[in-house]
Amino acid sequence: VVAVDIVKLNILPAKSVVDLSTLIKHHVIDKDTQRVKIIGNGDLSISLTVSVPVSKGARKSIEKAGGTVHDLSLRGAHSSNSV
């Protein structure tokens, strides 16, 4: 599991849906990364919809910025969005 500081999400367009493909597309994580967890190191200044696991601190920052978190377990985070 790769830990991503929440401050790194500030490079994403506002209102983005944050999932593995979004993080890879914007070079936040390596293309071979299978699982991530957003951690609350820093502040988030944009509203996002986060669909990957987050720490309690990251959840507070996301919600404070007007965003939302879709609850996902670490076990299924890489495959739970299959359509």
Provide the pLDDT confidence category of residue 83 given band limits of 50, 70 and 90. Answer: very low
> Rounded CA gap, 46 and 15, in Å?
8
Q: How much is the pLDDT for 78?
A: 46
Predicted TM-score (pTM) of the model is 0.82
Per-residue pLDDT of 6-38, as tens digits, reads 999 999 999 999 999 999 999 999 999 999 999
Rounded to whole angstroms, how far apart are CA atoms 67 and 56?
A: 14
Q: Which of 10-14, 39-43, 63-67 has the lowest mean pLDDT?
A: 39-43
Average pLDDT of every residue of the chain: 89
Higher pLDDT, 41 or 17: 17
Backbone angles phi, psi at 64, to 5 degrees: -65, -35
Question: Largest Cα–Cα distance of the chain, in whole Å?
Answer: 33
Strand bridging mode 2-5 / 17-18: unpaired
